[in-house]
Structure 1
Amino acid sequence: MLELLQVLLLSFVGTSVALLIGGAICWSIAWTFNHGPFWAQLTTMLLIIGFFTFGLIACIIDGEPSHDYYDNPPLYDRYR
């Protein structure tokens, strides 16, 4: 029972910290677009577009099917 409470508390704290970090990032982006100089707005937009573009390219490059999955009939049949 104590282990379960520790796991729940740790997951709650971890989720809370992740939400706080995500909120801080969103707040800083919103502040940049509402109050920041033009160069900061442009840099932020280029950064977001760059992350999206390189992420999309990485997904396309690594998007090949896993040959180990198809070469293993018991595993393939199990999840087919």
Structure 2
Amino acid sequence: MERPVHNMSHLFAQLGQANDEAAIARFIESHRPLANSVQLSEAPFWTPSQAAFLRESILLDADWAEVTDELNVKLHARH
């Protein structure tokens, strides 16, 4: 059985955020760079339910893990 393929737009929709390309770019630009010591799910801008979803995505290697990791990299980048 194939795993579902999720992209950044799907992830932002799942998180209850605006999920068009421009909104995603603005979100990332306005929240980066996260300090290296801050895990994605610990960032102060997430609600508790968003943080739990992101944490579980990575810990459980869920269908969302790959795109969650992609967001993690983008938010930690120093541009």
Mark yes or no: TM-score above 0.5.
no
TM-score by length of 2: 0.33
Q: By percentage of residues, which structure has more helix?
A: 1
Structure ranking higher on relative contact order (CA contacts 8 Å, 6+ apart): 2
